[in-house]
Structure 1
Amino acid sequence: MNNLSEYRSELDALHFSPDEIDTIARRAAEGAAQAKKPRRRFPRAVLIAAALTAALAVGAGAAGVLPSPAEVFSPIFGGSAAQTEIIDKIGYPVDAGDSDNGITITADAVMGDAYNAAVVFTFRTDDGSPILPQGISAESLLVRGGGASANILGGSHGSAWFVDEVPGDDTVQMVQTISADRSLIGATADAEFDGLYHWDDSAGEAVALAEGSWSFRFTLGYEDTSVTLGGGETFTQDGMTFTIDAITLSPVAFKVDYTVASEVVWSGSGSGQQSDADRLQMQRYLENVEILLTKTDGTVVDLSLAGGSISPEDGVTVCSKSNVFSQILPMEELAGISVGGVYFPVPQA
């Protein structure tokens, strides 16, 4: 890798080499799949490290007055009056964290819908000293351990990134999103962090900023304000018929479930790397399914590159695509969503 942007684009919040990522993803898919018909997940930014965690201890709760969800999420997901109102309605504060080696990590707040969640963690020095050395940006930060892993049946994917709301102070924030096949509401999340690093572009490697091990547990509890659209509509592309099973849409995220009338066949190369044939199958069954969200002002948001899963089942293939939005989108500002060219208006109260 020649620069940080190339590194982050390639790993997309992961902290392993591309060969290691392919191997881990293959093993995770094989372990969670049905016999002889593995479900394969293709997230944009999978927190694979979280899937590798062992049993976690319950950490010490965060002390002091808990911040409101709006205080936590507004600087990241939007601070307009409408966005703040939604955050305060659906978000909940979290009182969980752990300390080690002079740094305390806390989960501050969580929000989401039935199948998606967003969590904000704060990394804080115990002595009040700046957490980032001069010249180190939050965008270059990496962690091992991966953050929160939801303990649910089925698969999940997500992403994580760092922001520095007040440069030069004793804190930095990590935002993590989780999207899953099953409902996340009420699920227990185990969080594990193993060292804080930054990507050194000149050295071409990750350099440790803080050693330590942090682990704690909290509940993904919040109010679900999603609506469900669709059910049975079809479209054709790439010589296959797709049936839209359900669309779940909220101000926070979306999820599209569909079934393809053709059973995907994987190459089973066993090399640990995705073959050209499997890459083509991923495109046909997942990536090429266009999902467009239209706002009332005419703006169109392309959601087609969302992560998801592909699961062959007795002659058909069951697929899912989902993601957390980069900002809160009030439902009254959403006109409709289309999947494979089939348009669904968003009901307004």
Structure 2
Amino acid sequence: MNRYQDTMDRLRFTPEQKEDMVDRLMASEVATPRRVLPIRRLAAAGVAAALVLSLGAAGATGALGEVGAAFSAIFGSSAQTEVIDKIGYPVGASDTDHGITVTADAIVGDTYSYAVVYTIQREDGTALVSDDVLARAANPETEALPLAFQSHDTTPRGYKGGSHARTWFFDADPADNAIQFVELRTQDTPIQPGELTVQLRDLELYNEDYTACTTLAEGSWTLKFQLDFEDSSRVLPCGQTFRLDGAEAELNTITLSPLSIQVDYTVHGAGDPSLDWIEPLSLSLTYTDGTTLDLSHAGGSSAYGEDGVNCQKSMIFDQILSLDEVASITVGDVVIPVTQ
């Protein structure tokens, strides 16, 4: 049996609110559960205007500079422009139903992970959400718009594995009538080039205490576009052993990219199958200047096999990295250099 986990530690909701949101999302798709996390930064003034202009030019010119603008609200306005333009591309796929258009603006990806930014807006130019709803996103206790899709299915063609994701809504520019939706997804097997189908249904609004939803806008939207990244991932040398909660664990592979990290390891003699072997694993990144980035809150998956518990701990970073600035990865007490 596969178990999927994604940390909830950084959510700024009460435990009851978190549980309610997770239950709703888990019920919509058992095979690939997903949980909503708040955006941790808002776009700087003017980002949305740059996004609209740049995405309009993308289809005609094929230029990639607009990818950084599309993701500036996710990875920060100082995102590694050259790096993000290399690993991503504008999309432009859209679908309209009940007078509402959903457009996939841009995508970035690597071996196991990808991130997509969508824009949602009414065709008649009226605002999709009220000022009161926008004000709720400004509350530091929530940070994200209190919205959810009633159902959300993301399916790469022919994919049989599992995945875990973070999704949330935000407003890049309160002066326009559009809002944005972002999905950060990690698979447990490598992404294969090909068509991705995204199916969305009914936009819903959470009440003030996040215990229930009402329908904000009915609709069914299906978008299809290609997964075809220039993969800049590095596979680090592994095979080292370490102790994890009293059991012996072995590192199988570590895949590092400017977008994400995935650590594959096996816990031998794990014993009780109900134990969690994802959260206890300490994981960090050390930069060449000596500073560190704690990644222990990453989510992942585990599956019981003949050799023990096979685990994958992974996450998409808060910022796009330049791998030239990464010195090493530490898993448990094992330090793995990143060769420059």
Does the pair score TM above 0.5? yes
Deviations 1:275-301 (A, max 9, x none): xxx2xx01xx21111111122333322
How many residue pairs match? The answer is 297
* Residue 310 (1) aligns with residue 308 (2): no
Aligned partner of 1:55 in structure 2 is none
The one of 174, 180, 187 aligned to 2:187:
180
Identity %: 39
Aligned partner of 1:128 in structure 2 is 125
Shift of 1:89: 1.2
* Residue 144 (1) aligns with residue 150 (2): yes
Aligned partner of 2:98 in structure 1 is 101
Shift of 1:14: 4.0
Deviations 1:174-206 (A, max 9, x none): 110110111114143221111112211158421
Question: Aligned to 1:135, what secondary structure does the other structure show?
Answer: helix
- Whether the 8 Å CA contact 2:34–2:165 is kept in 1: the answer is yes
- Whether the 8 Å CA contact 1:74–1:83 is kept in 2: the answer is no
Counterpart-to-counterpart distance in 2, 1:99 and 1:91:
25
1:84–1:185 CA distance, 2 compared to 1 (3 A): farther
Counterpart-to-counterpart distance in 2, 1:12 and 1:340:
33
1:347–1:7 CA distance, 2 compared to 1 (3 A): same
**In the alignment, residue 24 of structure 2 is paired with which amino acid?**
F
Shift of 1:141: 1.5
**In the alignment, residue 222 of structure 1 is paired with which amino acid?**
F
1:96–1:8 CA distance, 2 compared to 1 (3 A): farther
**In the alignment, residue 102 of structure 2 is paired with which amino acid?**
I
Question: Aligned to 1:235, what secondary structure does the other structure show?
Answer: strand
Give unpaired runs (5+ residues) of structure 2.
1-10, 38-54, 60-65, 138-143
The one of 217, 232, 237 aligned to 2:224:
217
Counterpart-to-counterpart distance in 1, 2:178 and 2:153:
17
**In the alignment, residue 262 of structure 1 is paired with which amino acid?**
G
Counterpart-to-counterpart distance in 1, 2:181 and 2:28:
23
TM-score scaled by structure 2? 0.79
Shift of 1:217: 1.6
Counterpart-to-counterpart distance in 2, 1:217 and 1:89:
22
Aligned partner of 1:51 in structure 2 is none
Aligned partner of 2:317 in structure 1 is 325
The one of 68, 76, 79 aligned to 1:78:
76
- Whether the 8 Å CA contact 2:80–2:322 is kept in 1: the answer is yes
Aligned partner of 1:167 in structure 2 is 174
Shift of 1:71: 2.3
Shift of 1:210: 1.0
**In the alignment, residue 142 of structure 1 is paired with which amino acid?**
A
Counterpart-to-counterpart distance in 2, 1:153 and 1:245:
22
* Residue 240 (1) aligns with residue 250 (2): no
1:10–1:202 CA distance, 2 compared to 1 (3 A): closer
Aligned partner of 1:34 in structure 2 is none
Counterpart-to-counterpart distance in 1, 2:93 and 2:303:
35
Counterpart-to-counterpart distance in 2, 1:126 and 1:118:
25
* Residue 191 (1) aligns with residue 198 (2): yes
Counterpart-to-counterpart distance in 1, 2:324 and 2:12:
38
- Whether the 8 Å CA contact 1:181–1:320 is kept in 2: the answer is yes
TM-score scaled by structure 1? 0.77
Q: Mean alpha-carbon deviation: is it higher for 196-205 or for 237-246?
A: 196-205
Counterpart-to-counterpart distance in 1, 2:230 and 2:309:
31
Counterpart-to-counterpart distance in 2, 1:7 and 1:126:
38
Give unpaired runs (5+ residues) of structure 1.
29-40, 48-62, 267-277
RMSD of Structure 2 on Structure 1 (CA): 2.8
Shift of 1:108: 1.1
Shift of 1:305: 2.1
The one of 255, 258, 263 aligned to 2:262:
255
1:295–1:202 CA distance, 2 compared to 1 (3 A): same
Aligned partner of 2:280 in structure 1 is 288
Counterpart-to-counterpart distance in 1, 2:171 and 2:36:
22
Counterpart-to-counterpart distance in 2, 1:342 and 1:189:
37
Question: Aligned to 2:127, what secondary structure does the other structure show?
Answer: coil
- Whether the 8 Å CA contact 1:110–1:221 is kept in 2: the answer is no
